[in-house]
Amino acid sequence: MLVNHIWSFAGNGPENVNTTYLQPFLAYTTDSLTTIGVGTESGYDWTGRQWTIPIDVSVSQLVRIGEMPVEFGLGVREYAVRPAGGPNWGLKLSVTFTFGK
């Protein structure tokens, strides 16, 4: 789980920030190096008193291209709670290259 809080400190204005971020996640990797994950990247805006709570489900596969391990991933996101006018869903495609030994 990742947790942080950010806030403005240099005075008041229209760009004030006072937000808590929570990222609990759970992932399972199979013997064939397929990873299935579920989690959220939730945020609470203390100034606007508004939660944003997406639910993420993802699957990724680690493969070797030559000597280099590369992970290909696909994720979908559904918003359980969102601000007015916010998105209903999202899609994530990823490619992760691993360098080094």
Q: Which domain holds residue 34?
A: 2-97
- What is the C-alpha radius of gyration for the chain, rounded to an integer number of angstroms? 18
At residue 43, the pLDDT reads 96
What 3-state class would DSSP assign to 15? coil
Note the pLDDT of residue 8: 85
Shortest CA distance to 33 belongs to which of 62, 4, 54?
62
pLDDT at 65: 93
In this prediction, residue 47 carries a pLDDT of: 86
| Structural domains of the chain, count | 1
Question: Model's pTM, two decimal places?
Answer: 0.80
pLDDT in tens, the chain (101 residues): 899 999 887 766 677 889 999 999 999 999 999 999 999 999 999 988 999 999 999 999 999 999 899 999 999 999 999 999 999 999 999 999 988 76
Q: Which pLDDT score, from 0 to 100, does residue 99 have? A: 83
For residue 38, what are the β-bridge partners?
Answer: 26, 57
